[in-house]
Structure 1
Amino acid sequence: MENLQTKLFAKLQEKEAEMIQIRRHFHESPELSFQETKTAQYIAAFYEDKACDIQTNVGGGNGILVDIHGGKKGPTLAIRADFDALPIQEETELPFSSKIPGVMHACGHDGHTAYMMVLAASLIELKEELAGTIRVIHQPAEEVPPGGAKGMIEAGCLDGVENVLGIHVMSTMPLGDVLYHKGPVHTGRASFKVALKGKGGHGSTPQDANDTIVAAAQFVTAIQTIVSRRINPFDTATVTIGSFDGKGSSNVIKDTVTLEGDVRMMKEETREIVEKEFRQIVEGISHTFGLTYELTYENDYPVCVNDEKVTEMVANALQEAAIPEMKNLVECGPQTPSEDFSYYAKERPSCFFFVGAHKEGTPMYPHHHPKFYIDEACLMIAAKSMASAVVYYLSKGV
């Protein structure tokens, strides 16, 4: 195992410049979720002359599967990277900033795809020494429900796969740290849109109107009691109003107000409680103020749960790997964002872990920020981290 890992690390090191070049190409040419046709073509072309099996248009979209069959019998492990961007105008002023107005790689998916492509190429070159099969999942559309993972799973991307691993680079975590957590690691998510409909009127005669602004204000306050009074204090949940559309003339009572927002939770049971209470409050507010309403409430990404044994395997692999660029291996606890890797984790015992990308002494910007930035040294750490997990898995199992 040590010899194979040494060879793999050496190949990755030889290809570091290529890894960075690929990342910068994607960063300059971002594509939104479900629209990543040129990105998918670039990825597919990369594998055309390599000794692997490739499937394109997986799931009826831009998904790509690459199978690397080892020279010896063994298990089948899937490793996943996503490649969609976000509708954000980039403000980094990098020399390789986005050339597409209003679209930006503001979450690191360009880095995920770059490290994964170079890792896959290195594994292909050493395939005769692998005891098993590696399935590389290049997944589109992580950012927008229903997400790319769901369609790829429905198309069979996990057929024959025993376990799945994934990495996210993190702009808010220290460069050199690799982080993991057993059990629930990312929140589940739901979204909603509520239109409260009343009777408009003039501000001088409020008695002749049903004021949707007042009702909506009561609603915003009331739904905050779901978390504070209906959820166990030891459980995690958030209910956020992100949009309150009540704009109009200062002396006119509007007949409709539309609110949109977001729900997160760390247990699927909590999801059910929040939705039940939410619907009850909408109904109650509407009845109290004599309004009607239209509600769209959509549950999407499940809670992402890391399998304890697979995560322990990853931690052991990282401890034994002695990755020169890795400073710390950290048990980081659960993380509040949501991830459609959760769909893989529902189907197969899996582990989703993190690689820090913030260099000390430089500005830190969160994911989805116009100035989002990752230090490119994190790409090699991600590649070697995943490589060490793959080698350990194929030689020792879970």
Structure 2
Amino acid sequence: MTTLLIDRLGAQGDGVADTLDGPVYVPFALPGERVNAAVEGSRGTLMAVLEASPMRVEPVCRHFADCGGCALQHLDPVQYRAWKRDRVVQALAARGIDAEVSEIVAGTARSRRRAVFSARKTEAGIVLGYNRAASHAIVDIEECFAVLPEIEASLPMLRSLATLIAVTRDSFHLTVTSTASGLDVAATGSGKLTEKSRREVSDFALRNGLARLSVDGEIIIEPRKPMVQFGSAAAVLPPGGFLQAVAAAEEAMDGIVAGHLKRAKKVADLFAGAGAFALRLASRSEVHAVEADAAALAALDRAFRGTPGLRRITVEKRDLFRRPLTFKELNAFEGVVFDPPRAGAEDQSKQIARSDVPYVAAISCNPATLARDLRILIDGGYAVKQVTPVDQFLWSPHVEVAALLEKPRKRR
């Protein structure tokens, strides 16, 4: 047992004690606290808080510190939001970017419309919940204050469903999305269903009012199309398809992007997904949506064609990591929005930096790769006009960011 004084919070929300042997990371400890921890290398397991920080509050969930879903329920909300905003400030500073960072768009409890649960069949029955932090062990949960109430209320049903579909003894995942048509459940890694099992799970889905059930991308039953609203358009996502986790966060980011691109008659939406930005932007701009996932792109195209009153949307299946839009192609647009995966969009940013596009909106779930991409754009002549953090993943270390840039138009 080692007694440590916690100096600061690390990037993952762990308390960090700066010792003579280097930093020791102690999950669930807070700055200013004196704690007892079982230390192994650079990791510590919190055993007791000897002197508590005034920033410490009572967690709302009984599973906190056991399940790995949340890291910071014990931190005062004001301090929590300041720490999350500072993650963005520090990422920009590391790249030499001097830009004002707005106050964070605060997240709220019980707001996530999409959750990925882990499950495993055991001798005692199905275990369903989240993986313990830094572990493959699944913590069985009875409540979750992060997700929408209808998802939390479905936990007993999901356990019964997992029992029916679990062919393997390995862990598998259930992605649950709350849609306008009901819950959409996508299982991955649960094993191949027999014909008898397919009939059983189909009956189960009907009895429990699921909009859709799919296993490893195959739709088992779809009583109703699972609809998600993007502005005036209703899209049907492919099974397990990407969706921003919180509707209010998506709408906040869309408002930021739409305001910046309001003068752009033609917009390129890169890494467009199923159209969260494209379908909204098309209310006043022509949009060219580029995405590598064919199923997501098809969902976007169907939503566009089924929604009257939108400006034209064209779609292009293209892997922007392997083949980014060139600066010459980009010069056909007056605005660009890009929302890549966590790895960012380094090569695409290099092409945007060479372009004459006057308005650019960058969306990211990774402040470090966003800062790298912004540095490329700044070096190419862009000026950062606004940086706004969005707390989409409440009580986690993850933070979304919307950054707006402009480049003076060249005289023709």
Fold in common (TM above 0.5):
no
Q: TM-score, normalised by structure 1?
A: 0.24
The structure in which a higher percent of residues are helix is 1
Higher relative contact order (CA 8 A, sep 6+): 1
Q: TM-score, normalised by structure 2?
A: 0.24
